[in-house]
Structure 1
């Protein structure tokens, strides 16, 4: 079974993905970490974020064990990842890695922004997780503050709107809800309620598939 979970930043898709992967006993790939790691590696080696060829080379040789989770979760990492992820050669370099993970024996769960549309359009279940930008920004702001980042809430709202615009309007693999995906709106939900809603959506899709 392949489960594809896509959605916007700070919508809760990452937590939902981890919980569902554990529930169904599926290996999980957070594909956003690949782009964040590519961006961080580029910044560390002073590679311009518009040097597509060098960035693609970095992406092709990534080892996620070289990165601390804390450095991948900063606001700067997210912003740079959004820029890097719009580059076709970078996406091409990471495509096979993600596709192979999705097709591994026994199934898998992947979360990102183009899993259900590009990486695994044949996924058994597709979810799109979203929330109002103000709510997402507050969640992200609290996370950043907890990690010592002094960014303001207004700035986080601005950053998320900029990222949404870039992700949804990039020429290659834009972030969008697959036609057959189930929408999970987490704006007014606790994380527990969001996970329960996502689990119910997966079960409903599987039940429909079992009847056909």
Structure 2
């Protein structure tokens, strides 16, 4: 039997990390941990409490009163904030436009990285985010950097939002580009592609093809094979 490993999947907003990781984890019987949803949950809580996001002291103080839970269900994960299911609310454009600013704060990252490492300690897990391979799980047996162009990622996000919110493709692409800048230039755990990561560009790959690619990489890593 192949050993169960820890898989770190990083990449920019809209690269398909969550949707792909969720499918791969289900196929392989792994636990999927959506770290982006965790940052979105904290962001939603701060906005709901009308806390000024730029006030780092207020944000740090508020963290002591925010209880965050990820609950596995048949179709993925439910995100609970103080026992309220906010799985849908955290995916709105309003939360999306603030999450990078929240995620850049040291107090937020410290709290969530500790949670993520604890959840991943059992092995047989897939974590996706922006600093998994570099900070959260630097010793992960497999690191993947999933990416695509701003145009491709923006179009994917727009397709998800267009029937729910009054927003243009141009606005979504601008948000994606702005998040890239914030994520790559932030002081705390910036988005980077670590040297030992396998880069998978998804511009011209279907979801099924990307799932197959990641599944093969994980199966090979389980056997101790190095990626080429």
State whether TM-score is above 0.5. yes
Partner of 1:134: 151
* Greater mean deviation of Cα atoms: 60-69 or 176-185: 60-69
RMSD, matched Cα? 1.6
Partner of 1:4: 8
Shift of 1:202: 2.3
Partner of 1:92: 110
Partner of 2:56: 52
* Equivalent of residue 16 in structure 1, options 10, 13, 20: 20
Determine if the alignment matches structure 1 residue 31 to structure 2 residue 35. Answer: yes
- CA–CA separation in structure 1 for the residues paired with 2:185 and 2:219: 32
Partner of 1:111: 128
Partner of 1:203: 219
Partner of 2:138: 121
Partner of 2:72: none
When residues 192 and 59 of structure 1 are mapped into structure 2, their CA distance, relative to the original with a 3 A threshold, is farther
User: SS at the partner of 2:13?
Assistant: coil
User: SS at the partner of 2:33?
Assistant: strand
* Greater mean deviation of Cα atoms: 45-54 or 180-189: 45-54
| Structure with the higher fraction of residues in helix conformation | 1
TM-score (norm 1): 0.92
- CA–CA separation in structure 1 for the residues paired with 2:152 and 2:220: 27
| Structure 1 residue ranges (4+ consecutive) displaced by more than 6 angstroms after TM superposition | none
* Equivalent of residue 174 in structure 1, options 187, 190, 198: 190
- CA–CA separation in structure 2 for the residues paired with 1:172 and 1:68: 26
Q: Deviations over 1:41-60 (max 9, x none)?
A: 11111100012233234445
Q: Deviations over 1:159-208 (max 9, x none)?
A: 11100000011011001112111111110111111111122222333444
Please list every run of 5 or more consecutive structure 2 residues that lacks an aligned counterpart in the other structure: 69-78
Counterpart contact for 2:41–2:86, Cα < 8 Å: no
- CA–CA separation in structure 2 for the residues paired with 1:137 and 1:27: 28
Please list every run of 5 or more consecutive structure 1 residues that lacks an aligned counterpart in the other structure: none
